[in-house]
Structures are given as C-alpha cells and as structure tokens.
Amino acid sequence: MNQREITLSGHIIDSLILPKALDIIMDQGGEFKIYEFDVGIRKSDISTARIIVSADSPKLLNNILDELSEIGASISEIKEVKLLKSPKDKVLPTDFYSTTNHTTHVLYDMDWLLVENIEMDCMIIIDKENKKATCKTISKVKKGDLIVVGREGIKVTPPQRPRGKKGVFEFMNSDVSSEKPLKSTIKSIANEIKEIKENDGKIAIVGGPAIVHTGSAYLLSDMIKFGFVDYLFAGNALATHDIENALYGTSLGVCINTGNVVNKGHRNHIMAINEINRQGSIKNAVENGVLKKGIMYECIKNNVSFVLAGSIRDDGPLPDVITDSIQAQEIIREYSHDVDMVIMIATMLHSIATGNIIPSNVKSICVDINPSAVTKLADRGSAQVISIVTDIGTFLPLLYQELTKK
C-alpha cells in the first residue's frame, strides 16, 4: 500500500495550511483520511491534524508528499535527509531538493539543522564535519558537495498569519490596485521603518533611475543621511543620473527643477561618467570635493554599503559598477542575510533580483507606477512582497514627511 501519515500543526486553519494540503492531495489524484483533528478551540491555540495520504503508485505518493512538505507538512515517521554527492562542479544529482524561501530545517544525524542563508531555487548542502546545513545556488556547487535529495527529513515553516493586532505586512494582501487610500499605508510603512531602526534592524533600498528622473533624489539622499538606509542596491543608471543631477542639475538631460530639456543635455550623463572616471571612483570624487551632494554622496559620507550591478544597457559604466552580474548578485546575497526590510522602488530588474534572494520573513515592499512590475514579482514567487502601485515622484515626498514627522 502506498500510504503515509503526515502531521500538520500550527494555525493551520486560518493560515490556510490545512485547505492547501487537502487541495494538493486532491489535485494530484491522491486520497486522504483525516483520522485525528485537534482543533484549536480558542484563537491562541494551535491545531493539529493527522492525515493518512494514499496514492496509486509510490511515484505519485512521493510527488504529493513533496509538495506537502513545501507548505509545512511534516511526515510523521521522520527519516533523515538523503544526501548524494555532486558528480561535477555546478552539476546536481537528478533528484535534488529545490528550496523555497521559507525557514527550513533538515534532520541530519538525529538533529534538526536550520538551513542557513535560505533562498528560493537553491540546494541544501550538508557539511558533515561541522554538522551544518547551508543553502547554495547551483553555480556554487562543487564536485563532491553533499546535496540533499528527495523529500525525507525536510521541514519547511512558511510564515503564519499572526492573530490579533496587524501591521501593514499582515493586513495587506498583494493587491495592485491604485484605487486605495495611500495616506494610511504610507504612515504604516513609515512606522515600520522607524520601529526597525529603533531596534537596530537593517533596511535595504533597491532603486531605479526614475528616483532621480522624477526629482526625488534629494529625498532618498536625506533618508540616507538621517540613517534610515543601510544598503543600496542599484545599477549604473541610478548612480550616473544621481551624479549627473548633483553636478549639472539634470537627469538624462532634463533639468530637475524646471522639467525642461537643457541645451546639449544628452551629453550630461556621459560628462558625469567622465568626471568619475577622471577621479577614479565615486569615493575619490567625494573626497576630492567634486561630488558634494546626492544619493551616492550620502552613501559615501554615511558608510552605507552600495552595490552597483552592471547591465547590458549601461553607458560607461562608472568605475564603481560591478560588471559581472553573478559577482554582483553574490554581494547583494551576502548583504541581504543581514537585512530586516527591503524597499524596492521603480526598478523591475533589481527588484526581481533581490526578491529572488531574500527569505520570506524579510519585510519587503515594492513601489512602482506600473502594475505589471508588481505582477511579475509575484509570478516569480516573491508572494510575500507588499505591492504599492503609485507614482514614486509623489510617493517619496509623502513617505519622507511621515518619516521626519516628530
């Protein structure tokens, strides 16, 4: 008989874990029998369901259990994780386990090891000596690495919907409507930011050049100056146009104060790159007194780490840009382990890149005027992201007002 007992435990009804589990079983063509169901009587209680899953074939049963494990079902008769060696650099055993972005443990040598640096679409590597489990991307896998395969001994814990008072992250669903009152949302976000900073948490901004084009660079500069930002992830364009704006008052040749196209303005971003090339780096430009304000200036002055990742559409690029995309990704990855909140502003490419990397318990917000930017983020699995469809040229002033309000 192809059957197996699973246990679901937690706020499994109101976090939709139980319905999702039954859905999975039925969608795949399996059968279930709930033989024990201990319902949380009150809202502080935890519920537990013990379910027998059965299927026509061992393969189907495995498929079902595999999916169940991803939503947090634990298989009652716990076995240890199975491991296979990588046959070659960057090559995985066929049955490799592909991670989610939720907190994950593996049962190895009688211990539940927390998988470090969890990230979606990665592999779990076991370090036998130190009894450590770590998440690695396929490109980092080395020949001989011990890789978790199959579905045994893996426990996934998705974020559970908290009861009681809700913040903006619990209240909002991933709604992309532009017809909602924003004032209260902006206020809530400002409060979350302040709370994180009061607890010495860390905040990363992921930003596109539209921050500069829309005349909002001075607001982000001030947010950096006042200590609200710990990391900046961006591309050559944001830095170039920020410096163009700081040096010449334009962004892509458009005067930020008047909105007019200036004479020979299209030269200005190349002039900005030229100036930084002459200085050798953005840091030199700040230290030599050439660059005196703006987003990049404040990053240098306030020791905010930044990653400028190269892309094929770059002019220049600036000497500070990391042109190798995988190397840039690695640095973003490293910084992200440290981060409590990510605010993604008007940049689809960098938002999806960061969304891919951060675990599901990092608070993340995506602000874009284009609803499809937000849809794409959700389609790629970053379902936990709060999406706000609005104009950043008007959103940032209002956020800034809330942040600096006494």
Under the binding rule (CB under 8 A), the answer on residue 92 touching a second copy is yes
Contact residue for a second copy among 106, 254, 285, 300 (CB under 8 A): 254
Under the binding rule (CB under 8 A), the answer on residue 31 touching a second copy is yes
Region 150-169 residues binding a second copy, contact defined as CB under 8 A: 163
Under the binding rule (CB under 8 A), the answer on residue 98 touching a second copy is yes
Region 260-299 residues binding a second copy, contact defined as CB under 8 A: 260, 263-264, 266-267, 269-271, 273-274, 277-278
Joined tokens for residue 36: 């024990």
In sign, the C-alpha dihedral spanning 246, 250, 255, 259 is: negative
Among 200, 232, 192, residue whose Cα is nearest residue 364: 192
Structural contact between residues 289 and 297, judged by C-beta atoms closer than 8 angstroms = no
Under the binding rule (CB under 8 A), the answer on residue 85 touching a second copy is no
Under the binding rule (CB under 8 A), the answer on residue 335 touching a second copy is no
Cβ-count burial 96-130 (b if 16+ within 10 Å, e if not): bbebbbbbbbbbbeeeebebeebbbebbbbbeeee
Select 28 or 361, whichever has its Cβ closest to a second copy.
28
CA distance 90 to 393: 43
Among 12, 46, 21, residue whose Cα is nearest residue 160: 12
Under the binding rule (CB under 8 A), the answer on residue 139 touching a second copy is yes
β-strand partners of 49:
8, 37
Question: Cβ 131 to a second copy, closest distance in Å?
Answer: 26
Among 385, 351, 344, residue whose Cα is nearest residue 367: 344
DSSP structure class, residue 100: -
Q: How many residues bind a second copy (CB under 8 A)?
A: 112
Contact residue for a second copy among 84, 114, 383, 398 (CB under 8 A): 398
β-strand partners of 389:
368
CA distance 175 to 323: 35
Structural contact between residues 132 and 113, judged by C-beta atoms closer than 8 angstroms = yes
Under the binding rule (CB under 8 A), the answer on residue 114 touching a second copy is no
Region 202-241 residues binding a second copy, contact defined as CB under 8 A: 210, 213-215
Contact residue for a second copy among 136, 317, 360, 400 (CB under 8 A): 317
* Three-class DSSP category at 222: helix
Under the binding rule (CB under 8 A), the answer on residue 248 touching a second copy is no
Contact residue for a second copy among 9, 10, 16, 157 (CB under 8 A): 16
Select 134 or 137, whichever has its Cβ closest to a second copy.
137
CA distance 195 to 198: 5
Region 43-72 residues binding a second copy, contact defined as CB under 8 A: 43, 63, 66-67
DSSP structure class, residue 363: E
Among 123, 163, 127, residue whose Cα is nearest residue 43: 163
- Judged by CB under 8 A, the stretch of 77-85, 190-198, 296-304, 305-313 that binds a second copy is 305-313
- Judged by CB under 8 A, the stretch of 75-83, 251-259, 290-298, 336-344 that binds a second copy is 251-259
Question: Cβ 263 to a second copy, closest distance in Å?
Answer: 5
- Judged by CB under 8 A, the stretch of 1-9, 105-113, 223-231, 304-312 that binds a second copy is 304-312
- The angle that helices 325-336 and 348-357 make with each other, rounded to 10 degrees, is 60
Contact residue for a second copy among 57, 91, 128, 338 (CB under 8 A): 91
Joined tokens for residue 129: 């000596």
Question: Cβ 360 to a second copy, closest distance in Å?
Answer: 14
Under the binding rule (CB under 8 A), the answer on residue 184 touching a second copy is yes
Structural contact between residues 104 and 124, judged by C-beta atoms closer than 8 angstroms = yes
Region 345-364 residues binding a second copy, contact defined as CB under 8 A: 348-350, 352-353, 356
Under the binding rule (CB under 8 A), the answer on residue 170 touching a second copy is no
Contact residue for a second copy among 19, 57, 79, 292 (CB under 8 A): 19
Under the binding rule (CB under 8 A), the answer on residue 404 touching a second copy is no
